[in-house]
Amino acid sequence: MSLYSLPKIVALMGLVLGLASGCTTAATLDPVGTGVAPVSEKSASIVVDGSTGVVLYQASADLPRIPASLTKMMTLYLTFEALQSGRITKSTLIPVSAHAASQAPSKLGFKPGQTIDIDTAIKAIVVKSANDVAVALAEYLGGTEEQFATLMTDKAHRLGMRGTTFHNASGLPDPQQITTARDMALLGLALRRHYPQQYYYFGTQDFVFNGKLVRGHNRVLSQLNGADGIKTGYVRASGFNIVTSVSDNGRQLVAVVMGGNTAKIRDAQVVSLVNTYLPQVASR
């Protein structure tokens, strides 16, 4: 059972929206030591106490941003929901359609008609950010990717993600697919609280597929003590995005950085934010 019920999460995050006195803006915090934290049309960030929902830092957190592969967090949320309900199991085989196989990289490179089990599919999305697998899951659970995207948006709004609209399951470019840093933090919190039995997947750094070791590219997992997920993302229009979750000695924190100019800069910023604000996080 999750720590907070859904209404409490929504109410809590709604409350912190109005807590101006407890938040810091990019003009007053320099998380990467450059004098003044950069704010561009792509950038946004937020740090949230995972136990209380209190916002410790935010910059452009409610402005529309492009999620890129952070989208897959919701694809996995609905997958975990199906697992918990018994609709699917980890050994359920899902087919890969021609539409799924045609997705642009990153992907595993399936041919139409091949299948993948749910357990491997989840690992492929977390580690490889495989677009073909994300679409195959969407079609299996939603009938079509379009119908699944509607389910994704509906779920987002039920979680209180008011600034989010999904149009695909992968995060590949779509001008109508938008989110906010605050919404991504809320989704990160919801994943841990609602699906603790599946959450361990987000700490996976590699997996074996067809006899080959597939390595991930979320380097923050090895740079931060207690980092246990969640997801990176990039398309040209979004810049480099990341949602990072940390659980350390009873303290939980979720940090979001969007619109980084490079993966290295994004990673350095999120590491700095975690190191700066983790001491302020309440212990359970």
Give the residue from 154, 179, 5, 9 showing the smallest Cα distance to 77. 154
Amino acid, single-letter form, for residue 227: A
Q: Which pair of tokens denotes residue 53? A: 């929902």
Contact (Cβ atoms closer than 8 angstroms) between residue 55 and residue 23:
yes
Tell me the H-state helices in 86-130: 98-101, 118-123
Backbone CA torsion sign across 191, 76, 148, 232 = positive
Classified as helix, coil or strand, 177 is: coil
Instruction: Please list the active-site residues.
Output: 69, 72, 129
Whether residue 231 is annotated as binding a ligand: the answer is: yes
The pairing of strands 93-95 and 55-59 is unpaired
Give the residue from 40, 37, 14, 3 showing the smallest Cα distance to 183. 14
Sheet hosting strand 251-260, strand order edge to edge: 55-59, 44-49, 251-260, 239-248, 227-235
Amino acid, single-letter form, for residue 129: S
- Strands, E assignment, the chain: 44-49, 55-59, 93-95, 115-117, 206-209, 212-215, 227-235, 239-248, 251-260
Contact (Cβ atoms closer than 8 angstroms) between residue 40 and residue 26:
no
Annotated binding site for substrate: 231
Annotated binding site: 231
